[in-house]
Amino acid sequence: MSDSPAKAVIFDVGGVLIHMDWKEYDRFAVERGLPEREWLRILHQTEEYNAWQTGRGSEAEWHASIMRELRAHLGDRSEAFIEEWLARPTPRHDPNLDLAEALIGAGYTVAVLSNAGPDLRVNIDETLGRTIAWHDILCSAEVGLAKPDPAIYRLAMARLSLRPAQCFFIDDIRANVAGAQEVGWTAHRFKGDYAGLQADLRAHGYEW
């Protein structure tokens, strides 16, 4: 490593390590009878989801709310919809997974910071299709905080004994990037450009 302050790279999961295409998800849902953009709302824009991802509610309550909302639109076709949804493959951003492994090999602190349930920690190897020696996995539901709350970024620093200038954060959501920048992190909004991400890391002193 160089003499730059660069020390840690912190990855989001959905949209950074796991491929997420909400346009495709919306097409999937509309083809099966949901209104446009309704599937995103049902999944991620309800009180039950917000409660689950910050540890205030259970996964069962969130799943029940999904089924309740689906039945309002699809009736007895709701279970088949969910079966098809869960049967889809989960594409991964393999170049970013390779990058995480390379950064660990180069001696950097590499961690995960995700708005997710505690099952992420248990299932992360299966989800990503490989085992990566993360220095920390911080799940919002475990700590009662969620991005873009500045407190969750500060907690991540405390757990890893880092200063703001040492942190480079990667997320696909603008608000989460802004939250990281608010506490003094360097942050990159990932939109599928692997070369652009790597160039940004190198521009900030990361070498691997």
- For residue 190, the domain's CATH number is 3.40.50.1000
CB 152 within 8 A of CB 140: yes
Give the span between the Cα atoms of 162 and 74, in whole angstroms. Answer: 49
The range of the structural domain enclosing residue 156 comes to 8-19+91-203
Are 111 and 13 part of one and the same domain?
A: yes
Q: Which tokens hold the place of 71?
A: 């039945």
Question: CA 138 to CA 93: how far, in whole Å?
Answer: 20
Residue with tokens 């405390």: 158
Pair 15, 27 in one domain: no
195 domain-assigned: yes
Same domain, 106 and 56: no
Same domain, 72 and 130: no
- On whether both 116 and 42 belong to a single domain, the answer is no
74 DSSP assignment:
H
Task: Looking at the structure, tell me whether residues 55 and 95 fall in a common domain.
Answer: no
pLDDT tens for each residue of 102-135? 999 999 999 999 999 888 999 999 999 999 999 9
Tally of domains in the chain: 2
Mark residue 109 as left, alpha or beta (left: phi above 0; alpha: psi -120 to 50; beta: remaining).
Answer: beta
39-83: per-residue pLDDT in tens?
Answer: 999 999 999 999 998 999 999 999 999 999 999 999 999 999 999
Other beta carbons less than 10 A from residue 60's beta carbon: 10
